[in-house]
Amino acid sequence: MNYDQILKKIDKEIKPFANEGNVSDSIHELALINPSKFGIHLVTTEKMDYSFGDSNEKFSIQSISKVLSLSYAFQFLGENIWSRVGVEPSGNPFNSLAQLEYEKGKPRNPFINAGAIVIADILVSNLKNPKNDFLSFVRNLANCNSIDFNEKVALSEKKVGFRNAALANILKSFGNLKNGVEEVLDFYFYQCSIEMTCKELAQSCYFFANGGNTYSQNQRILTESQIKRLNALMQTCGFYDESGEFAYKVGLPGKSGIGGGIMAIHPQKYCVATWSPRLNLKGNSVMGMKALELLTTETQMSIF
């Protein structure tokens, strides 16, 4: 497969979409990003790297961090995790309060904010130094010590995190948060503030494409069966209230974030990360989604 040629073709074909969508303004620091950035990095399971555009520039991975926190928590609790959070698409916006109240404090899935806050709670309970240990876990995936939190982004979100505070309080009222609301939210905001380049993101998430073995030392962190389950969750719940559309157009499991990043995997073939800050109305990167649609069209490979 000539990925270099395919990425060049994609770069040309997404140009007409360069001004579509808007940069997220829900977190002040993120609204300051140059909207015209575009980067893509693809790493095959044979560890061949292909990239284009601003693929070596750091961006805020935001909700993409939820697949990493879930993977870490899955190591501690295994299947017991599902007693506290479900595995169904929510069909609602990612920060919706109503469904959580109606369903008595059990979030639909780990990728909506309520679910990710429960996962954050599990990590706070199980880690000695939650923020440091989580960062080490992430750094170890791609053996990349330059991966870090962006404190400005975390604090900027903390100032306006009223809905997440509301979700955490509802969870607490139903007994589905074991630690203090403040402590869990602090961890959650830092987790979301992690910055990576497309290359670092693709290499960190390589284990989803490689049956649970990491890019760094081919170290097994989850079993093949666990990876199958996490990939299934990404397929059905990874793209906010647009997961169906993403499956229809792209045909790969993955996860997006409001920083404009998308990570997607083709099991046993590759992990790919894109970054372009302009988002559509559902919160997914316009150019990122288009680029991935072109990728599966041009390669004639998707999971379907």
Using the rule CB under 6 A, is 62 a contact of ligand GLU?
yes
Q: How many residues bind ligand GLU (CB under 6 A)?
A: 10
> In a 10 Å sphere around its CB, with 0-12 CB exposed, 13-18 middle and 19+ buried, how is residue 119 labelled?
buried
Q: Tokens standing for 11?
A: 């770069």
Of residues 51, 55, 63, 176, which one binds ligand GLU by CB under 6 A? 63
Using the rule CB under 6 A, is 257 a contact of ligand GLU?
yes
Using the rule CB under 6 A, is 243 a contact of ligand GLU?
no
Of residues 164, 203, 235, 285, which one binds ligand GLU by CB under 6 A? 164
Strand partners for 213: 220
Output 69 or 214, the one with its CB closest to ligand GLU.
69
Q: Which long-range contacts (CB under 8 A, 24 or more apart) does 228-234 make?
A: 229/87, 230/67, 230/70, 230/71, 230/74, 231/265, 231/267, 232/87, 233/70, 233/87, 233/109, 233/110, 233/111, 234/67, 234/111, 234/208, 234/265
Output 62 or 274, the one with its CB closest to ligand GLU.
62
C-beta of 82: minimal distance to ligand GLU in Å?
22
Of residues 168, 258, 279, 289, which one binds ligand GLU by CB under 6 A? 258
Output 157 or 200, the one with its CB closest to ligand GLU.
157
- Residues 78-117, interacting with ligand GLU (CB under 6 A): 94-95, 113
3-state helix, strand, coil in the chain (%, to 5): 50, 10, 35
Residues that bind ligand GLU (CB under 6 A): 62-63, 94-95, 113, 157, 164, 192, 257-258
